[in-house]
């Protein structure tokens, strides 16, 4: 756990993965065109950057041992996390086409649900799918949802 916190701190403070702005600054619109961010248009047509993300669980699927079925619940969690996002040149600014995310989710409406950790993959900028673990009922779950990468 200490190693994960140390890596997150390094990403946030130094911006070691590609440009010197850090994780709390917006992705610059001239990321691929200016030479100041260590990305050159001729050689690199993509770049990976750590970013902050917010997520909403649209559908959560959990296995019910008594019935042997998957139970689905909607809009059960919201949370924040960190993403390792892939950016390509867009028409006016860099475009985040996919990313790998780690989230800490809090429940919205289920009283028996608790804090949850999840790993997801986002595509097409906003759509994500993944799996997680809910510490309230101590269950694994699958999820689909929406992610906004800052």
- Could you report the per-residue pLDDT of 32-78, keeping only the tens digit for each? 766 665 555 555 578 888 889 999 998 999 988 888 888 888 888 89
Q: Of residues 41 and 92, which shows the higher confidence score?
A: 92
Closest CA to 139 of 77, 82, 52: 77
Global pTM?
A: 0.75
Q: How many CB atoms lie within 10 A of CB 80?
A: 13
Q: Look up residue 127 and give its two tokens.
A: 């759509």
- Could you report the per-residue pLDDT of 4-39, keeping only the tens digit for each? 555 555 555 444 444 445 677 777 777 776 666 555
């Amino acid at each position: 756990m200490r190693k994960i916190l140390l890596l997150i701190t390094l990403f946030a403070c130094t911006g070691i993965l590609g440009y010197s702005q850090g994780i709390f600054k917006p992705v610059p619109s001239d990321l691929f065109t200016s030479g100041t961010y260590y990305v050159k248009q001729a050689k690199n047509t993509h770049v990976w950057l750590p970013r902050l993300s917010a997520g909403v669980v649209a559908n959560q699927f959990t296995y019910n041992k008594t019935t042997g079925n998957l139970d689905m619940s909607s809009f059960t969690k919201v949370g924040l996390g960190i993403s390792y996002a892939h950016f390509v040149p867009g028409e006016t600014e860099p475009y985040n086409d996919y990313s790998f995310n780690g989230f800490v989710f809090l429940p919205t409406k289920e009283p028996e649900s608790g804090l949850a950790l999840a790993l997801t993959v986002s595509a097409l900028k906003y759509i994500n799918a993944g799996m997680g673990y809910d510490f309230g009922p101590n269950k694994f779950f699958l999820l689909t949802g929406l992610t906004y990468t800052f």
